[in-house]
Amino acid sequence: MEQNVTRLYEEFESQVRLSNPAADFERMRRAFEFADSLHAGQTRRDGSPYITHPLATAAIVAELGLDDDSLIAALLHDCIEDTATTHADVEKLFGRDVADIVDGVTKLTRVQYTSKEEEQMENLRKMLMAMARDIRVILIKIADRLHNMRTMEYQTPEKQREKSRETMEIYAPIAHRLGMQRIKWELEDLSLYFLDTVAYQEIKQGLEGRERENAGFFRRTENRIREHLRDGNCECEVYGRVKHIYSIYRKMMAQNKTFQEILDLYAFRVVVDSIAECFHALGHIHELFNPIPGKFKDYITLPKPNGYQSIHTSVIGDGGIPLEVQIRTWEMHQQAEYGVAAHWKYKRGLERVEGEEKFAWIRRLLESQQESDPQEFVQALKTDMFADEVFVFTPKGDVVNLPAGATPIDFAYGIHSAVGNSMTGAIVNGRIVPYSHALQNGDIVEVLTSKSSKGPSRDWLNIIKSPEARNKIRQWFKKEKREENILHGRVSFESELRRNNLTLADFLRDDVLTKALKKLAYPTADDFYAAIGYGGMSAQKAVNKIRDDIQIAVKTRKTEEKSELPAPRPVPRGKPVSGVVVEGLDNCLVKFARCCTPVPGDSIIGFITRGYGVSVHRGDCQNYIKSRSNPEESGRWISVEWANGESDVFSASLSVAFIRRAGAILDVTNAVAGLKIRMTQMSAREDGNVTSVHMTLSVKNSDELGALISRLQNLEGALEIRRTEA
Ligand code: MN
């Protein structure tokens, strides 16, 4: 067995010697021996020594033409994951770069996948690429996966399906994005084999059948194209191939066709020296074979997003067999086959292609660096790949894509504004972190929330990175302010109504409200209050606009109520008692109702109580208004009036609301004292930005009370003054 491994290593070494004779073979052998000793005793499922896997992975990496460090890292790629070796051990022996690459591959290996919707898959792919930081990590990971897929037959059926799905959804698309067609195709075909074996076999056998039918087709067509182009003075290479199985499978699925109905199974590549010759060659091919209309695509002028360039055309070949021809330069060919890895493999030729269309984001990198030294190139890739994005996990394994430097606050708002607004802390990878913590690729982020959270802080706006979070936090503040605005607006509107002898209840009646809001041009009462609150509408102007309508409605209602209710019982006039004359009753017991505390000057009404004489209420007392519509009580109300020249004092209560400010309560008590009115009781409370004072006073009459009310109304910040129950 040991001898077998040594032989495998020597094969690998001679393979590297062919493509990279200047490699450090001494260091490479040390890496192999180190890995071999670490994996000693471990075997793969097929029974072979474990080291054969890293060795095969390194061989794939060597095919891509990567540098020494990549080859050594590929040999060591499972050491940290599967043996007791650490980053520090690898660094001591093979340097920081190799250790970082091995560490990167290990991190990717540890990412857990769950099958998700396509958008999640795209984020997962981006996250893997971002986590890799160094493109070599991704390339080694892809090589690792390719070898695992090639040897998947030894795994359990569950494992085969799981890994195949992952390969199809994650690794093949990444290979495609990096422009590595060959590896992408192989990954797809291997995955398809395990995911839909029946279809795979059917296509494979179908292709073999076609090949028998069309024996010699490839060689014949290749020769015809080559000779025709050479006659036209166009030097070229021509390669024919059958399209890969998964691409045929996908076409069958998408177009709902059987294998027999799929015609374009053959593809020919024509590789020439320059772009000018590409178009030249296209003309010659259209001379040779009839083109199929609508099948021509120029990816040279407009490259695919992954940088792919070629001219595609479909033609009818010999024997009426349709075929696709792809025309490209050598440079484009290397790029299409090896993608980003082509940089290492063909770096010597790079000066030649300056100015030509290249793999888009790599071209940007190259433009920013005059010297396309591989070391510098790698450095640039390390910093440039998704440098402006960060990908993190929710505790459930969903990937969230955020701007680089994003904080847990950005994450919380990325989940939902309600999560952000009730956030009270964050846990990253199991540890509590401050709000300003910068998230790293692959972090698992959990947001702590509480219903009693006071909402976002304005300071958050200084540390967050995503415009989304910024908008949501601003919206929250606007909305919060809106509530303050509504509160203030309503209070001043109500106060203005009272100055016009109207109440908020009059305004809020169904028959008034809709019409009034329409007239004022606000969709809801809250919008209207909010507008008054922030000063967009004056309460006075608003009341002026709608006063008549409200008054008419109130009058109509009063008339209706009057006609429905019996009038107070007319009684003959009697003598005054306690300053009140009760019509038709002499010397009856009179007391003043505590609910509305009438004072001389107020309009009053009497209620004949059961055994306690007449209780005197104000004409606008809510209890009176309620009671008179009660048929059992309505007949007990009688007319009363104030006797003249009375010198008694009466108790009255006031409620004063004003915008919270220092000294406001003192101003209220000073106003009371200034009129020499005695205050018998006072309480104050605060509700948001509004302070309410409630007080009970001893006054001679309603004039005295009116004087106090007008003084209070002139106080700074006064919102509303209202007579209340005691
Ligand atoms: Mn591996």
The answer to whether residues 719 and 657 touch, using CB atoms and an 8 Å cutoff, is: yes
Q: What is the mean pLDDT of residues 26-32?
A: 95
Q: Please name the residues in contact with 210: beta carbons below 8 A apart, sequence gap of 6 or more.
A: 265
The answer to whether residues 699 and 648 touch, using CB atoms and an 8 Å cutoff, is: no
**Residue 157 resides in a domain:** yes
The pLDDT, as a whole number, for residue 568 is 46
Q: Which of the residue ranges 193-207, 580-594, 595-609 would you say has the lowest mean pLDDT? A: 580-594
- 3-state DSSP call for residue 720? strand
Distance 602 CA to ligand 1 centre (A): 95
Cα distances (Å, whole numbers) of residue 143 to 105, 347, 637:
11, 21, 99
Q: Which of the residue ranges 322-326, 395-399, 499-503 would you say has the lowest mean pLDDT? A: 395-399
Tell me how far apart the alpha carbons of residues 446 and 432 are, in angstroms, rounded to a whole number: 9
Query: How many domains, the chain?
Result: 6
- Torsion over CA: 468, 471, 473, 476 (sign): negative
**Residue 379 resides in a domain:** no
Percent of the chain, pLDDT > 90? Answer: 30
Tell me how far apart the alpha carbons of residues 219 and 378 are, in angstroms, rounded to a whole number: 41
Per-residue pLDDT of 548-587, as tens digits, reads: 888 888 888 777 765 554 444 444 444 555 677 776 666 6
Position 10 confidence tier, pLDDT thresholds 50, 70, 90: very high
Q: Write the CATH number for 241.
A: 3.30.460.10
Q: Please identify, among 616, 642, 668, the residue that sits at the C-terminal boundary of a domain.
A: 642
Q: Please name the residues in contact with 428: beta carbons below 8 A apart, sequence gap of 6 or more.
A: 408, 437, 439, 443, 444, 445, 446
Of 324, 321, 328, 322, the C-alpha closest to 342 is 328
Q: What is the mean pLDDT of residues 10-14?
A: 93
Neighbours of 468 (CB within 10 A): 16
The answer to whether residues 635 and 679 touch, using CB atoms and an 8 Å cutoff, is: no
Per-residue pLDDT of 662-684, as tens digits, reads: 788 888 888 888 888 888 888 88
Per-residue pLDDT of 35-86, as tens digits, reads: 999 999 899 988 899 999 999 999 999 888 788 899 999 999 999 988 889 9
Distance 17 CA to ligand 1 centre (A): 24
Per-residue pLDDT of 72-92, as tens digits, reads: 999 999 999 888 899 999 999
What is the chain's mean pLDDT, rounded?
82
What is the radius of gyration, based on Cα positions, of the chain?
A: 44
The answer to whether residues 638 and 653 touch, using CB atoms and an 8 Å cutoff, is: no
The structure's pTM equals 0.57
Position 361 confidence tier, pLDDT thresholds 50, 70, 90: very low
- Torsion over CA: 325, 174, 303, 354 (sign): negative
Position 599 confidence tier, pLDDT thresholds 50, 70, 90: confident
The pLDDT, as a whole number, for residue 344 is 58
Strands 690-699 and 399-403: unpaired
Cα 74 versus chain centre, distance? 37
Within this chain, do residues 137 and 254 fall inside the same structural domain, yes or no?
no
Within this chain, do residues 153 and 212 fall inside the same structural domain, yes or no?
no
**Residue 476 resides in a domain:** no
Q: Domain residues for 330?
A: 204-345
Residue 26 is a catalytic residue: no
Name residue 289's beta-bridge partners.
none
Distance 78 CA to ligand 1 centre (A): 5
- 3-state DSSP call for residue 45? coil
The pLDDT, as a whole number, for residue 566 is 47
Position 347 confidence tier, pLDDT thresholds 50, 70, 90: very low
- Spot the catalytic one: 13, 24, 63, 82: 82
Within this chain, do residues 409 and 299 fall inside the same structural domain, yes or no?
no
**Residue 474 resides in a domain:** no
**Residue 366 resides in a domain:** no
Alpha helices in 500-538 (DSSP H): 504-508, 510-520, 525-533
Distance 71 CA to ligand 1 centre (A): 13
Tell me how far apart the alpha carbons of residues 109 and 176 are, in angstroms, rounded to a whole number: 20
Distance 496 CA to ligand 1 centre (A): 79
Neighbours of 390 (CB within 10 A): 25
Cα distances (Å, whole numbers) of residue 363 to 193, 340, 360:
36, 11, 5
Within this chain, do residues 656 and 596 fall inside the same structural domain, yes or no?
no
Tell me how far apart the alpha carbons of residues 417 and 188 are, in angstroms, rounded to a whole number: 40
Q: What is the mean pLDDT of residues 380-399?
A: 69
Distance 35 CA to ligand 1 centre (A): 12
The answer to whether residues 566 and 524 touch, using CB atoms and an 8 Å cutoff, is: no
The pLDDT, as a whole number, for residue 33 is 94
Residue 11 is a catalytic residue: no
Percent of the chain, pLDDT > 70? Answer: 87
Per-residue pLDDT of 464-500, as tens digits, reads: 998 889 888 877 877 777 777 787 788 889 889 988 8
The pLDDT, as a whole number, for residue 423 is 93
Tell me how far apart the alpha carbons of residues 616 and 591 are, in angstroms, rounded to a whole number: 6
Q: Write the CATH number for 698.
A: 3.30.70.260
Within this chain, do residues 487 and 559 fall inside the same structural domain, yes or no?
yes
* Residue 594 backbone dihedrals phi, psi, to 5 degrees: -80, -20
SS3 letters across 395-421: CCCCEEEEECCCCHHHHHHHHCHHHHH
- 3-state DSSP call for residue 640? strand
What are the structure tokens assigned to 294, written together? 């609508």
Strands (E), 600-649: 604-608, 614-618, 637-642
Tell me how far apart the alpha carbons of residues 638 and 617 are, in angstroms, rounded to a whole number: 11
Within this chain, do residues 670 and 637 fall inside the same structural domain, yes or no?
no
- 3-state DSSP call for residue 474? helix
Distance 165 CA to ligand 1 centre (A): 18
The pLDDT, as a whole number, for residue 248 is 93
Within this chain, do residues 330 and 232 fall inside the same structural domain, yes or no?
yes
Position 170 confidence tier, pLDDT thresholds 50, 70, 90: confident
Tell me how far apart the alpha carbons of residues 463 and 171 are, in angstroms, rounded to a whole number: 35
The answer to whether residues 286 and 313 touch, using CB atoms and an 8 Å cutoff, is: yes
Q: What is the mean pLDDT of residues 229-254?
A: 89
Within this chain, do residues 584 and 542 fall inside the same structural domain, yes or no?
no
- 3-state DSSP call for residue 456? coil
**Residue 352 resides in a domain:** no
Within this chain, do residues 58 and 115 fall inside the same structural domain, yes or no?
yes
Q: Please identify, among 162, 196, 230, the residue that sits at the C-terminal boundary of a domain.
A: 196
**Residue 356 resides in a domain:** no
Position 196 confidence tier, pLDDT thresholds 50, 70, 90: very high
**Residue 594 resides in a domain:** yes
- Spot the catalytic one: 13, 24, 63, 81: 81
Distance 442 CA to ligand 1 centre (A): 20
Q: What is the mean pLDDT of residues 136-145?
A: 92
Strands 590-592 and 650-659: unpaired
The pLDDT, as a whole number, for residue 533 is 76
Within this chain, do residues 490 and 595 fall inside the same structural domain, yes or no?
no
Within this chain, do residues 456 and 526 fall inside the same structural domain, yes or no?
no
Q: Please identify, among 177, 196, 215, the residue that sits at the C-terminal boundary of a domain.
A: 196
The answer to whether residues 455 and 480 touch, using CB atoms and an 8 Å cutoff, is: yes
Within this chain, do residues 88 and 39 fall inside the same structural domain, yes or no?
yes
